[in-house]
């Protein structure tokens, strides 16, 4: 069985502004240590997949930086979307690319901007999912054991357990959208719901079959693309065909409609690194709960602040619960509790035509 890894690096979120920018989205940032989230994603696949079998699907604006960060990948393995068309198209494109080489090969689909703490368990879980996808020709999702009643993720409701040996395999009873807090608490208490991680395993051919069944227009477009993939005309064909593909998520467009589904329960430490606030769990804290990513800290009567000061000394006196970020051209200060609102600052900058800061 051949494995391919498909890294989904199309994000252009604003929640790590001003560190993340339109031209340098979160997955390209070094938020923990010296390797970017994208590079860490590739690094942790090394026991499982060799570089020539790793694909990255990314936006055209970021393809060059992706290539610079991953010099070990052949250039044709970086698939540059001329325009974002959501995850069904991105997964389909990657499956079509892999199928040109080996339709039986398994694609492991992984977001580029997550953090994993137990990498050994991560690799074991992926291997389990890949074997399942290969053996039974099913679409496999990884479902994360919830640790708190999160309202920011979709949930997978598990059906009957098919193999209790961890990482356990179950049928999928249903997908649920992001719940309210009360529902999230019920999910957590019930023990049958898992976070929808955005990590998948399937044979290239299986996904293409399911697209054919449930997204025929998309499947048609991919067939037109296929002959150019892995070759010198790849970019030109993408340019011509990709922007017209239907835009729908792989969850809505395929998984929720498919009857060939399995979920593997994933229990490796995981974070989607959703905002500066999430960094409090990932960076080391001083005795007052201040976290300072990349430089020394001197803090007096200051608690629970999160600072990324670009290697500078951070000096705090009498401040509490702030996020502060210094980049080459921006200083951001906000309460941690409001760091999800930085998008409002970006709106304001847009209105003022100060696009250079976006």
Q: Give the footprint of a copy of itself on this chain (CB under 8 A).
A: 18, 296, 298, 300, 305, 307, 309, 312-319, 322, 324, 326-335, 338-339, 341-342, 344-345, 348-349, 352, 354, 357
CB of 308 to a copy of itself, least distance (A): 10
Residue 231 is classified by DSSP as S
Q: In terms of CB distance, is 34 or 352 closer to a copy of itself?
A: 352
What gap in Å lies between CA 113 and CA 140, rounded to an integer?
20
Instruction: Decide: 291 and 279 in contact? Cβ < 8 Å.
Output: yes
CB of 117 to a copy of itself, least distance (A): 28
Q: In terms of CB distance, is 98 or 306 closer to a copy of itself?
A: 306
CB of 316 to a copy of itself, least distance (A): 6
Q: In terms of CB distance, is 19 or 194 closer to a copy of itself?
A: 19
What gap in Å lies between CA 59 and CA 326, rounded to an integer?
26
Q: In terms of CB distance, is 23 or 192 closer to a copy of itself?
A: 23
352-358: which pairs have CB atoms within 8 A and are 24 or more residues apart? 356/329, 357/18, 357/329, 357/330, 358/17, 358/21, 358/22
Structure tokens at 85: 């068309």
What gap in Å lies between CA 53 and CA 51, rounded to an integer?
5
CB of 182 to a copy of itself, least distance (A): 28
Residue 14 is classified by DSSP as S
What gap in Å lies between CA 331 and CA 324, rounded to an integer?
7
Q: In terms of CB distance, is 224 or 277 closer to a copy of itself?
A: 277
| C-beta atoms surrounding 79 within 10 Å | 24
CB of 74 to a copy of itself, least distance (A): 39
Q: In terms of CB distance, is 133 or 278 closer to a copy of itself?
A: 278
Q: In terms of CB distance, is 280 or 319 closer to a copy of itself?
A: 319
Q: In terms of CB distance, is 168 or 327 closer to a copy of itself?
A: 327
CB of 309 to a copy of itself, least distance (A): 4
Cα dihedral value 304, 312, 37, 222, nearest 10: 110
CB of 247 to a copy of itself, least distance (A): 31
Structure tokens at 214: 């449930």
Could you tell me which residues come within 8 angstroms of residue 309 by beta carbon, excluding any fewer than 6 positions away?
A: 292, 293, 294, 295, 324, 325, 326
Strand runs labelled E in 177-241: 193-203
What gap in Å lies between CA 85 and CA 89, rounded to an integer?
6
Could you tell me which residues come within 8 angstroms of residue 209 by beta carbon, excluding any fewer than 6 positions away?
A: none
Torsions phi, psi for 170 (to 5 deg): -135, 165
What gap in Å lies between CA 259 and CA 214, rounded to an integer?
11
Q: In terms of CB distance, is 134 or 342 closer to a copy of itself?
A: 342
CB of 335 to a copy of itself, least distance (A): 5
Q: In terms of CB distance, is 55 or 339 closer to a copy of itself?
A: 339
CB of 97 to a copy of itself, least distance (A): 40
CB of 278 to a copy of itself, least distance (A): 17
């Amino acid at each position: 069985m051949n494995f391919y890894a498909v890294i989904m690096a199309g994000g252009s979120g604003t929640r790590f502004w001003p560190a993340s920018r339109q031209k340098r989205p979160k997955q390209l940032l070094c938020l923990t240590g010296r390797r970017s989230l994208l590079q860490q994603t590739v690094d942790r696949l090394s026991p499982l997949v060799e570089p020539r079998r790793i694909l990255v699907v990314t936006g055209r604006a970021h393809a060059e930086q992706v290539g610079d960060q991953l010099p070990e990948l052949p250039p044709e393995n970086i698939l540059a979307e001329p325009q974002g068309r959501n995850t069904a198209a991105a997964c389909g494109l990657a499956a079509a690319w892999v199928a040109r080489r080996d339709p039986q090969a398994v694609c492991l689909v992984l977001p580029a901007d997550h953090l994993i703490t137990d990498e050994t368990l991560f690799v074991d879980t992926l291997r389990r999912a890949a074997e399942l996808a290969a053996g039974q020709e099913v679409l496999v999702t990884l479902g994360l054991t919830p640790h708190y009643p999160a309202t920011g993720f979709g949930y997978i409701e598990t059906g009957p357990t098919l193999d209790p040996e961890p990482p356990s395999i179950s049928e999928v009873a249903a997908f649920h959208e992001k719940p309210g807090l009360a529902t999230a608490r019920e999910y957590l208490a019930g023990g049958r719901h898992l976070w929808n991680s955005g990590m998948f395993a399937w044979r290239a051919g299986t996904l293409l079959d399911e697209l054919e069944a449930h997204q025929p227009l998309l499947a048609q477009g991919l067939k037109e693309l296929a002959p150019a993939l892995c070759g010198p005309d790849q970019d030109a064909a993408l340019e011509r065909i990709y922007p017209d593909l239907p835009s729908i998520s792989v969850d809505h467009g395929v998984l929720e409609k498919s009857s060939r589904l399995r979920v593997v329960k994933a229990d490796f430490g995981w974070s989607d690194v959703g905002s500066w606030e999430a960094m409090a769990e990932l960076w080391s804290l001083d005795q007052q709960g201040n976290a300072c990513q990349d430089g020394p800290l001197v803090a007096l009567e200051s608690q629970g602040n999160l600072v990324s000061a670009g290697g500078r000394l951070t000096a705090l006196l009498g401040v509490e619960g702030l996020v502060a970020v210094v980049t080459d051209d921006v200083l951001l200060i906000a309460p941690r509790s409001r760091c999800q609102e930085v998008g409002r600052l970006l709106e304001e900058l847009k209105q003022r035509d100060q696009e250079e800061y976006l």
